[in-house]
């Protein structure tokens, strides 16, 4: 599994948003409400950083301390994904909480969504699935942090993305952790 430092090397502008000492996400509440553990690389990212917006294009949805139940609820009840499933527009994928179902962890401002495929049972073995705004489904055999490091380090290409993605040295913004 890729370490957080490798993502920071690919996106050095993100490090100014690192929270010293961690963000104190209550993983027991979040994962209990969601009904699943989450990958350890994502947990490490969420403990170190607030919600991140990369290059004014990609928003990485990280849970906020005090709003874990809301993050779990949104992740576990994805209405758009459910609509796609009912329209049979998901290839062989299914929405969570079905076995192997998809959970979103990021989205672009162009309509692309980034998911985990929740199988096998070990969250650290979950793969990334991208649904592009062109309705293409692409699976990558890596976790979220490795995927982001690969995309922004230019070792992973995502077909169907805008031509200027991922951009040269994209700026990273951290969104406030204020709840309410």
Domains of the chain, by residue range, sit at 4-162
Q: Can you tell me the distance from the alpha carbon of 168 to that of 68, in angstroms, rounded to the nearest whole number?
A: 33
Q: Which two tokens stand for residue 8?
A: 């920071």
The region, left, alpha or beta by phi > 0 then psi within -120 to 50, assigned to residue 154 is left
Q: Can you tell me the distance from the alpha carbon of 93 to that of 85, in angstroms, rounded to the nearest whole number?
A: 8
Beta bridge partners of 60: 52, 106
Q: What is the pLDDT of residues 1-36, one digit of tens each?
A: 458 999 999 999 999 999 988 889 999 999 999 999
Check pLDDT > 70 for residue 126: yes
The matching CATH number, chosen from 1.20.1050, 3.60.21, 3.30.70, 3.40.1580, for 4-162 is 3.40.1580
The reported pTM is 0.93
Check pLDDT > 80 for residue 93: yes
- Dihedral of alpha carbons 146, 150, 152, 6, sign: positive
Q: Can you tell me the distance from the alpha carbon of 112 to that of 132, in angstroms, rounded to the nearest whole number?
A: 4
Check pLDDT > 50 for residue 84: yes
Q: What is the pLDDT of residues 29-61, one digit of tens each?
A: 999 999 999 999 999 999 999 999 999 999 999
Longest dimension (CA), the chain: 45
- Dihedral of alpha carbons 35, 29, 84, 158, sign: negative
Q: What is the pLDDT of residues 127-170, one digit of tens each?
A: 999 999 888 999 999 999 999 999 999 999 999 888 778 888 88
């Amino acid at each position: 599994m890729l370490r957080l430092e490798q993502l920071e090397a690919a996106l050095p502008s993100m490090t100014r948003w690192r929270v010293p000492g961690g963000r104190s996400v209550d993983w027991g509440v979040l994962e209990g409400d969601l009904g699943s553990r989450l990958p350890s690389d994502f947990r490490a990212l969420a403990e170190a950083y607030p919600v991140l917006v990369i290059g004014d294009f990609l928003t990485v949805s990280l849970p906020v301390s005090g709003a874990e139940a809301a993050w779990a609820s949104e992740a576990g009840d994805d209405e758009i994904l459910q609509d796609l499933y009912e329209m049979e527009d998901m290839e062989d994928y299914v929405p969570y909480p079905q076995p192997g179902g998809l959970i979103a962890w990021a989205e672009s401002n162009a309509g692309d969504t980034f998911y985990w495929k929740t199988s096998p049972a070990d969250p650290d073995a979950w793969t990334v699935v991208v649904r592009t705004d062109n309705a293409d489904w692409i699976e990558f055999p890596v976790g979220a942090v490795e995927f982001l490091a690969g995309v922004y380090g230019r070792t992973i290409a995502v077909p169907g993305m805008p031509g200027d993605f991922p951009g040269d040295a994209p700026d990273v913004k951290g969104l406030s952790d204020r709840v309410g």
